[in-house]
Amino acid sequence: MDALTIGPADPLDTRLDLLFARHTEFCHADTPPESIHMMDRAALRAPGITFLAAFAGLRAIGMGAVKDLGAGLAELKSMHVLQEARGGGAARQLLAALIDTARQMGAATLALETGAQPSFAPARAFYRRNGFCDCPPFGSYGHDPMSAFMRRDLSGA
């Protein structure tokens, strides 16, 4: 794989079309519409949100965003790495960049919502391996049996 570069990006950049298509397809595959909390591309450009993309050479292989919720809390949004690019450390590097972004926003805690269905088990395991633990719903989320909530304390190393 080409060298990985991760940095701020415009979510409307057409080089990200495949990533967003795959992310949308995955999120809608076995989740009812009322339980999908994915932000659309234009919304990821809003103030208080930093969107990052990971490129292997010229190919976009990963993306994610951090949304500042205030009071020391940030939310991880729309993290996705192409299936064919997984297993080489790109997801770990992207998550590290997103965690750094949350810290730069002044967040003491980074939280996320992901699916509770079996298809999301690899994502939940990835987040656990990277210091996240289960938590109750946060921000404007309510209880949803299709959602799993996780958080990571950013005050330590």
- In tens digits, what is the pLDDT along the chain, a chain of 157 residues? 579 999 999 999 999 999 999 999 988 898 888 888 989 999 999 999 999 999 999 999 999 999 999 999 999 999 999 999 999 999 999 999 999 999 999 999 999 999 999 999 999 999 999 999 999 999 999 999 999 999 999 987 5
SS (H, E, C) 30-41: CCCHHHCCCCCC
β-strand partners of 77: 65
Domains and CATH numbers, the chain: 4-153 (3.40.630.30)
Which residues 6+ apart lie within 8 Å of 153 measured at CB?
A: 108, 109, 131
β-strand partners of 64: 52
b/e map of 46-59 (b: 16 or more CB within 10 Å)?
Answer: eeebbbbbbbbeee
